[in-house]
Amino acid sequence: MDGSNGTRASDARAAEVQPGIPPRKLAKRIAMAKAACAVFGREGYARASVDALAEAADVSTRTLYNHFPGGKAELFATVVTWTSGEVRDAHVATVRALFDPGRPPHPDNLERDLAALARALVRVMFEHSDHFALVRHIHAEVNHVPAEVLEAWKEAGPRPVARALAEAMEGLAAAGLLDVHGDAELAGTHFTALTAHQIVQQSHYGLLPLPEEETERLLNGGVAAFARAYRAGRGAG
């Protein structure tokens, strides 16, 4: 995807978050949201001031409030929901491309394909670094982020991705490759915890990328641990 196509896709996602707004006003809101994303990613929610957000967007604070009457909280919710949608789509597309229920992997290829999934999920983090800078601050400042913003973020991103992973786990179980012990969603949670989550934590949400060999060690080790617990016929019970 070239830069112009990526920008158009990003703007289209922002338009979905802000439906029914005239194009000219929408373009202004998108520009302000993009500027705010960088500020929030750098400063976090609590430390980012309305003045700094307006300055980054090259508008007055009055103009910012005209477009976002709820001020910083509304602007943050808009940015988080918009970027979460982008990341959600990338994650869900990755899961469904690699684990189509109609085309389950050969048993001998299960760990290889699970490693490919973990690798692809981690890649999304580096391709959407601005979003994950926001997520890092959400986790660090959870007591300062409005509850409705947290809920909007979870509904826009983490929950749909968790459902997609659960569907993939259910498909692998139906194919006789995994035993999810009656809880496909938990199996998906364990998969990400053992693989991609390790990279997220140790790279500080992609801020300090790990050496490739260390990334591969963590991913492959996590996949092996997951397979030992969940491969059909090899359950931990």
Tens-place pLDDT, residues 55-83? 999 999 999 999 999 999 999 999 999 99
Give the per-residue pLDDT at 35.
Answer: 93
pLDDT in tens, 13-51: 555 555 566 778 888 898 999 999 999 999 999 999 999
Rounded Cα–Cα distance for residues 137 and 155 (Å): 18
pLDDT at 99 over 50: yes
What's the predicted TM-score (pTM) here? 0.82
Give the per-residue pLDDT at 3.
Answer: 46
pLDDT at 2 over 90: no
Give the per-residue pLDDT at 120.
Answer: 93
